[in-house]
């Protein structure tokens, strides 16, 4: 039988895929570094970075080589076996963090699901079954499984799916008194993002994180850092908690970790893991050799002085360009974030124009994200070069000119 290749377009999405997304009007077919090309050959500069995932840009040659090499050795084994890439990646994560144990999964939500289950299981084994309360924060995002979406602080994502898991309460981010009001001896964990990513690129203050640590110690609760968006170099240190000098009990990673290959990890310590027996949790694909070999290469490249200090430099370059743009257009209330997770907060009079601005940017050939309702989010490759930054910002300037002149 002769198979004929059918041309797929953006319209095909509306016929074929569950409409839980509304993708941009073009279909990218190729990427290199921070540039993307669509089906018509139009080129874009990509500041969306696959939503903070393609940490080394598109099709990094070293990652391509790693993937190709591993694909000729072994793709998948399951948890009936262990494998060398998973062990090497675990060793690497442990040697560069507070952790002494690692669990691998495939997405951010799964890493958080494992973290929340572990926190409750640990409390049930070391205290009692009633110690199951999880405190998280309004506006937070922890994934889309039913447990993680319930822990997340945005009801629009968790309502209308039937009864939610019990024992979850939300406090105000960066407001320690609201935590003090609800924490008690039945609290098993507090989970927090060090920068609320989806919620609008809002960094946690140092004193807030310090006080969360103290409260967790006082009430014998575990402190969980969701570093799925901030981890693996995004903020200029390998892990964002290193800016705070505070150590969590559990830390979750995903996004940047695989540079575009699906993988996530939950990091914790021997003390907490000591109560675990085989069988209490698991996943078929977790620790997949292809994913782990790519992630190992990602960390090898990112965990170097050159790349990590480059992140801070690129932050400054981008903010410099944004300030020039703002001098001309006076649209930005604030530029916030850390490293290459940047939020441009629009002034209230133009926050309803955010989609108009982003569409105009697309026409000029530059891609941004949103976060919250009035924030333009940038999460580009950690090795985006100066030419791409300057040209991308020029395109942004022209896009605003077309919107506002
Ligand atoms: C993206 C994200 C998640 C969810 O990750 P998925 O891979 O989409 O499941 C969880 N927490 C944070 C902070 C995130 O940014």
Ligand 1, atom 11: closest residue by C-alpha? 142
Pair type for strands 168-171 and 133-137: parallel
Question: Whose Cα sits closest to atom 6 in ligand 1?
Answer: 108
Write the residue with the smallest CA distance to atom 5 of ligand 1.
108
Domain 73-302, second-level architecture: 3-Layer(aba) Sandwich (3.40)
Ligand 1 geometric centre to CA of 101 (Å)? 21
Question: Ligand 1: which of 51, 106, 139, 143 to mutate, most ligand atoms within 8 Å of CB?
Answer: 143
Give strand pairing partners of 222.
189
Does domain 10-60+305-404 correspond to CATH entry 3.40.50.620?
no
Those residues with Cβ within 8 angstroms of residue 194's Cβ, 6 or more apart along the chain or in another chain: 203, 204, 209, 225, 227, 230, 235, 240, 241, 243, 244
Q: How far is the CA of 197 from the centre of ligand 1 (A)?
A: 9
* pLDDT at site 6: 83
The pLDDT of residue 404 is 77
* pLDDT value of position 4: 72
Annotation-wise, does 109 bind a ligand? yes
Give the 3-state secondary structure of residue 69: helix
Runs of H (alpha helix) within 278-333: 289-302, 305-329
Q: What angle is formed at CA 339 by the lines to CA 334 and CA 345, rounded to 5 degrees? A: 20
**Do the annotations mark residue 90 as ligand-binding?**
no
Let me know: does 75 contact 257? Beta carbons within 8 Å. Answer: no
Length, in residues, of the chain: 405
Give the position, in ligand 1's atom list, of the atom nearest the Cα of 197: 15
Q: What are phi and psi for residue 170, nearest 5 degrees?
A: -115, 140
Query: Which of the residues in the chain have pLDDT under 70?
Result: 1-3, 405
Instruction: Give yes or no for a contact between 92 and 301, defined as CB atoms under 8 angstroms apart.
Output: no
Ligand 1 centroid to residue 139 C-alpha, Å: 13
Ligand 1 centroid, distance to 405 Cα (angstroms):
38
Residue 108 known to bind ligand: yes
Q: Is 228 annotated as ligand-binding?
A: yes
Separation CA 369–CA 375 (nearest Å):
9
pLDDT tens column, 262-312: 999 999 999 999 999 999 999 999 999 999 999 999 999 999 999 999 999
Question: How would you class 315 by CB atoms within 10 Å of its CB: exposed for 0-12, middle for 13-18, buried for 19 or more?
Answer: buried
Q: How many angstroms is it from 52 CA to the middle of ligand 1?
A: 10
Q: Which pTM does this prediction carry?
A: 0.97
- Ligand 1 geometric centre to CA of 209 (Å): 20
Two domains, one topology: 10-60+305-404 and 73-302: no
Residue 51 Cα: closest atom of ligand 1: 1
**pLDDT score at 3:** 63
For residue 397, the CA-to-ligand 1 centroid distance in Å is 31
Q: Would the annotation count 84 as a binding residue? A: no
| Pocket test residue of 52, 108, 232, 251 for ligand 1, highest count of atoms within 8 A of CB | 108
| Beta bridge pairs of residue 336 | 343
- CA quadruple 330, 333, 339, 340: dihedral sign: negative
Domain boundaries, the chain: 10-60+305-404, 73-302
Distance CA 346, CA 35 (A): 26
> Residues with Cβ within 6 A of ligand 1?
107-109, 112, 141-143, 193, 197-198, 226, 228-229, 254-255
Q: For residue 368, how far is its CA from the centre of ligand 1 (angstroms)? A: 18
CA of 120 to the centre of ligand 1 (A): 20
- Is 141 a known ligand-binding residue? yes
Ligand 1 nearest atom to the CA of residue 227, by list position: 13
Task: Give, for ligand 1, the residue of 113, 196, 228 to mutate: max count of ligand atoms closer than 8 Å to Cβ.
Answer: 228
C-alpha–C-alpha distance, residues 89 and 145, integer Å: 26
pLDDT of residue 108: 98
- Name 300's Cβ contacts closer than 8 Å, sequence gap at least 6: 92
To the question of whether residue 263 is assigned a binding role by annotation, the answer is no
């Amino acid at each position: 039988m002769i198979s004929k290749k059918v041309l797929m377009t953006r319209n095909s999405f509306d016929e074929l895929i569950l409409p839980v997304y509304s993708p941009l009007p073009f279909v990218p077919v190729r990427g290199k570094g921070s540039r993307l090309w669509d089906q018509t050959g139009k080129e874009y500069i990509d500041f969306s970075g696959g939503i903070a995932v393609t940490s080394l840009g598109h099709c990094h040659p070293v990652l391509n080589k790693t993937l190709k090499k591993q694909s000729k050795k072994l793709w998948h084994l399951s948890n009936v076996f262990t494998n060398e890439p998973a062990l090497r990646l675990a060793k690497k994560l442990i040697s560069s963090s507070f952790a002494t144990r690692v669990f691998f999964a495939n997405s951010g939500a799964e890493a958080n699901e494992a973290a929340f289950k572990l926190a409750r299981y640990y409390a049930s084994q070391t205290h009692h079954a009633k110690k199951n309360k999880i405190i998280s924060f309004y506006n937070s995002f922890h994934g889309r499984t039913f447990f993680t979406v319930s822990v997340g602080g945005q009801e629009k994502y968790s309502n209308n799916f039937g009864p939610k898991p019990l024992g979850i309460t939300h406090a105000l981010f960066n407001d320690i008194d609201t935590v003090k009001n609800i924490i008690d001896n039945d609290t098993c964990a507090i989970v927090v993002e060090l920068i609320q990513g989806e919620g609008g690129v809002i960094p946690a203050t140092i004193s807030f994180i310090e006080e969360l640590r103290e409260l967790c110690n006082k009430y014998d609760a575990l402190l969980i850092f969701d570093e799925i968006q901030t981890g693996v170099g995004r903020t200029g240190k390998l892990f964002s908690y290193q800016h705070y000098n505070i150590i969590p009990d559990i830390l979750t990673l995903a996004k940047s970790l695989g540079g575009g290959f699906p993988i996530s990890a939950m990091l914790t310590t021997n003390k907490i893991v000591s109560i675990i027996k085989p069988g209490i949790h698991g996943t078929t694909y977790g620790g997949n050799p292809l994913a782990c070999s790519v992630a190992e290469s990602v960390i090898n490249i990112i965990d170097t002085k050159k790349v990590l200090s480059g992140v801070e430099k690129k932050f400054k370059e981008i903010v410099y360009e944004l300030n020039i743009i703002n001098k001309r257009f006076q649209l930005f209330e604030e530029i916030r974030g850390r490293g290459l997770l940047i939020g441009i907060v629009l002034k209230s009079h133009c926050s309803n124009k955010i989609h108009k601005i982003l569409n105009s940017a697309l026409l000029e050939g530059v891609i941004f994200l949103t976060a919250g309702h009035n924030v333009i989010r940038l999460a580009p490759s950690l090795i985006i070069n100066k030419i791409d930054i300057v040209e991308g910002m020029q395109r942004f300037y022209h896009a605003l000119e077309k919107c506002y002149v």
